[in-house]
Every structure is written in structure tokens, then in C-alpha cells.
Amino acid sequence: MTSRGYPGDVMDGRVLLVEDDASIREVTALGLRRAGFRVATAVDGRAALAAWRAQPIDLVVLDVMLPGLDGLEVCREIRRTSSVPILMLTARTDTIDVVVGLECGADDYLRKPFDLPELVARVRAGLRRATAVVEETILTVGGLEIDPNRFVVRKAGRELTLTATEFRLLLELARRPGQVFTRELLLDRVWNHSHLGDSRLVDVAVQRLRAKVEDDPAEPRLVRTVRGVGYKLATA
């Protein structure tokens, strides 16, 4: 997909932690390092983009509220060139802001105050999502050509740029075309959320996926909503 993704070395993943509060930054970095990640830190949006450009990064943990350039801007800027997994930390009380964050291209989010083990688990899941699935062959569903080994999706010969999360979501649906997946099942399979998670993660990711793979995202023919249940990939 891009030159910035380095799938494969999960336990040695390089995490960029962007957080303006010194205490949270320090203790979170400590926790991530103890879990086996290599951690680079940044205190604001500009420093984050500088750090992002200066070194290879496998996953970004990004605070939404940052002085100067805020987290949403940073997220959009990174998404222009990369599909690196982005985990948002949100201090905002409004659920709307969560959705806005996800729509800016974040893959997952955690509300402050968060549990350190929870953060570590999410980072791990995010890195795993970006890892190639070695054993599978190329799938062809509904005019899409999905290559799990190379993380590439082609539509009518044209290569589409999907983030790791979008790719995993599409792959999950494409493995059993026609089967209905509940949001909870997708949350478990794609995001590795074992607890009762927020199904809006799935809804927002589906919207983004549709924007990329559908001819007309307003009239989805491929990724269908099954009212009251979940989603399925139409075979026709």
C-alpha cells in the first residue's frame, strides 16, 4: 500500500505518542515501552508531523486536543500519504467528536481516562491489523480483486488506497460473501475488541470503505446494510 507500513514486527512496533500533557505522555510512554514497543513522543501537532516524517512509525497514538495544530488536523495530514493505524485519545465529552475523529481517518479511539492495559491491547490489535495475512490467496468478489499478501485492492484494474482497518474489514466481509456480520462480530474480528465496544467504529469504517469501493457511495451495492443486524458483502 505505501512505503510507510512495516508489517511483520508487532512486538517490536514503533509507536509515535502525541500528547501535550507531560504526565500522561511520560507515564503512557513508560507503559508502552514496558509492553515492548519502541516509543517516540511529540508534545504538539507540529512536533508530531516532524517526528512522523523523521522516522519510520508503525502506529500513531494521537491526542485530539493539542495546542496549535490539533489532533484532527494531524490525522488528516498523515492520512494524505499513509495508511498507518491511528489510535485517537479523546478528552472530549461529546460523542460527536468521536465520530468526527473517526471520519478524519482514525482507526480506533480511547476515551480519557483510559486503562493502560487497554491502551496496550488496542495498540497491539492495531499493529496486528496492519500485518500481512500470509496464508491467503487472492480473492475476487463483486468486481474487486483483494490480495491479502500485498494489502492491495484493485477495482477494474485500478489500485485502491485503503487503510489497514478498511482492508481488514473488506477482507473479513469478502471471506464469506453474502453472510451477515453483526457489528459486534466485526468489532471482535477487525478491531480485536473483546469487551462491549462502540459499534460506531464499525459504522464509520464502513462509510469510509464504501467511499472507496462503491461506484456510488450514497447507493451502496457492494457493502450492504442489513437493518437491525449488521453488514454483508453482496456477491452480485
Partner 1 sequence: MAPGTVPPGRLRRRLTVAFVLVAGVSAGVLAGGSYLMLRQARLDGSVQRAAADARYQLVLAGQFVPLTDARRTELLTSFEGSGRHVLLVAGDTHASHPSYAPTPGPQLRAAVADGQLGYERLDGTTGRHLLVVGGRIPGSTAELYAVTDETDLIGGLDQLRTALAVGWLTVVALAAGVGHSLARRTLEPVGRASRAARAVAEGLLATRLPVRGRDEFSDWAAAFNEMTQALQTKIDDLSRAEARERRFTADVAHELRTPVTALVAAASLLADQLDALPDDARRAAELLVADVVRLRTLVEELMEISRLDAGREAVSLTPVHALTPLRDLVAAHGWAGRVVVTGDGAVLRTDPRRLERVLANLVGNAVTHGQGEVRACAARAGPLLVYEVSDQGPGIAAEHLPHLFDRFYKADPARSGPGSGLGLAIARENTRLLGGRLTVRSTPGVGTTFRLALPLTPPDTNQGAEP
Binding-site ranges for partner 1 (CB under 8 A): 21, 23-24, 27-28, 30-31, 34, 91, 93-96, 112-117, 119, 195-196, 198, 203, 206-207, 225, 227-228
Q: How far is the CB of 95 from partner 1 (least distance, A)?
A: 7
- The residue among 110 and 144 lying less far from partner 1, judged by its C-beta, is 110
State phi, psi for 87 to the nearest 5 degrees: -110, 120
To which residue does cell 515501552 refer? 33
Q: How far is the CB of 150 from partner 1 (least distance, A)?
A: 30
Separation between Cα atoms, residue 6 and residue 8, nearest integer Å: 6
- The residue among 110 and 132 lying less far from partner 1, judged by its C-beta, is 110
Q: How far is the CB of 135 from partner 1 (least distance, A)?
A: 32
Q: How far is the CB of 208 from partner 1 (least distance, A)?
A: 11
- The residue among 34 and 150 lying less far from partner 1, judged by its C-beta, is 34
To which residue does cell 457492494 refer? 222
- The residue among 134 and 196 lying less far from partner 1, judged by its C-beta, is 196
